[in-house]
Structure 1
Amino acid sequence: MASLRSARHRSGHRVHRAAVLLTAIVAAVAVLPGVAVAAPAGQQLNAADMTLLNGVRLAGLWEMPAGQMAAEKGQSAKVREIGAAIATEHQELDQLVVDAANKLGASIPTDPTAEQKGWLSEMQNSSGARFDQIFVTRLRVAHGKIFPVIGAVRASTRDATVRKLCDDANRFVMHHMQMLESTGLVRWPELPPAVLPAPGNDGLLAAASANSGPQVGVSSTVVWLVFLAALGTGGLATYRLLRRT
């Protein structure tokens, strides 16, 4: 009887130790830091990306008719030639931005802004040398404004379609500025100053700051591997403990 009670005591002692150890394992798993088990969702368009899409689209909506107007009523042959080239190239760029917006499911403008319509009216109501000057001045300033935005978005966007559009837009805008400058009509002292980041801001432009950093999630596979490893370690420790008792 004494030996039977001793065996029962040892068996109960082993069960108690195993229960305590398993409880500790479960508790340890329960207090692991919370993690995201789902993979991050696809990158969404942000404010900087939309600024580029809208800006390139709006540029085409008024610069195409402006170029066509210059091709018809420019006083100098050079202005007429440049106007025709800008109108043609903006048709191509406009199609690229429309295709990009459709691919991304983004809504972009369909009409020029009130200010841009005012510029077109200004050119429509002018002629001769005055027309040439207004055409070159308005378009050179407009291209100078969108040019740094293209660079800022290109440097920080997470979207491949937007990145490709930046490359295309950069090529067209640079060419247009060079053509406009070749007329000799650009009034350099009257160009607006460069827009620089505020002191202490490491961003290239304020527009680029709209690109938020990627959010890193932890795969559910990793979570399960950690969980199974914890159980395996606990099981091995339990087995060794039972063998020693």
Structure 2
Amino acid sequence: MRITRKVTGTVLVGGVLGVTLSALACPAVLGFSAVSAAQDRVIAQTSAGPLTEADRDFVVKVRAAGLWEYPVGKMALQKGTTDAVRTAGRHLVSGHAALDATCRKIAPRLDIALPNRPSPQQQGFVATLSADSGRQFDSDMANILRITHGQIFTTIAKIRSTTRNTLVRQLADQANTTVLDHITVMEKTGLVDLDQVLFQETTPPKLPADDTTPPPPTAGEPQVTLKP
């Protein structure tokens, strides 16, 4: 018998993600919102080359991803029940700390304001995994993270092949290596339900922009740093 339970806006079926997931990460990650037709519009001329809306959004997405995946990695180190899950946690922490350092380094040069909190959708993931324990945590973490990384992988490729900004291109190179590594370690847990993952990657639910957009930093707010 298959048992379905709902936690923080996410439906889990038989211990893995069901097909009605409705609360996930940034734009283009699991859920999606309408994409501006002006994504290729140049919004600034910088010393590293022209910066488009898509370039800016990519830097923000990489930063926001780290703001929820880094703490999930730390959870995995504490709550994971297998060596493979704890190894995945270590990769999340180290990978996103390095990506975050790059984002914080290039953002001032590109005049990009970085968020200090993940989107409401991403916060829902953290809440779900915070409430999990034991094998449930292991399974939910592996499947959620495999979906989010699988979706952002295609975004990275598009940015890498189209950006004319050298700093954004360097970030895309780094993100490509990191995300592929994270996909691999999630699969090595042996817990990924690939049928469900591929369904979620190819048929994401459409979500309101407010759910998928990280809040901007407030004036005078200290910048959050993800430490290795």
TM-score bucket of the superposed structures, by smaller chain: 0.5 to 0.7
Match for residue 125 of structure 1 among 131, 141, 157: 131
Residue in 1 that maps onto 2:69? 63
Distance 1:59-1:128 versus aligned 2 partners, 3 A rule = same
2:108 counterpart of 1:109: no
SS of 2:51's partner is coil
1:7-37: CA deviations, max 9, x gaps? xxxxxxxxxxxxxxxxxxxxxxxxxxxxxxx
Residue in 2 that maps onto 1:170? 176
- Segments of 5+ residues of structure 2 without an aligned counterpart are 1-44, 204-228
Residue in 1 that maps onto 2:58? 52
1:175-221: CA deviations, max 9, x gaps? 110111111111111122448xxxxxxxxxxxxxxxxxxxxxxxxxx
1:117-146: CA deviations, max 9, x gaps? 111111111111100011111111111111
In the TM superposition, what are the counterparts of 1:1-245 in structure 2 within 5 Å? Answer: 43-191=49-197, 192-194=200-202
Greater C-alpha radius of gyration: 1
Aligned equivalents of 2:118 and 2:153: distance in 1?
18
Deviation of 1:47 after TM superposition, in Å, equals: 1.5
1:123-173: CA deviations, max 9, x gaps? 111111100011111111111111111100110111111111110110100
SS of 2:96's partner is helix
The letter of the residue matching 2:151 is K
How many residues are aligned here? 155
Query: Of Structure 1 and Structure 2, which has the larger fraction of its residues in strand?
Result: 2
Distance 1:73-1:188 versus aligned 2 partners, 3 A rule = same
SS of 1:103's partner is helix
Checking the alignment, whether the CA contact within 8 Å between 1:55 and 1:146 is kept in structure 2 is no
Aligned equivalents of 1:147 and 1:55: distance in 2?
12
Query: Of Structure 1 and Structure 2, which has the larger fraction of its residues in helix?
Result: 1
The letter of the residue matching 2:173 is D
Distance 1:97-1:181 versus aligned 2 partners, 3 A rule = same
SS of 1:45's partner is strand
The letter of the residue matching 1:170 is N
Percent pairwise identity: 35
Aligned equivalents of 1:154 and 1:53: distance in 2?
12
Aligned equivalents of 1:185 and 1:94: distance in 2?
27
Checking the alignment, whether the CA contact within 8 Å between 1:150 and 1:166 is kept in structure 2 is yes
The letter of the residue matching 2:181 is H
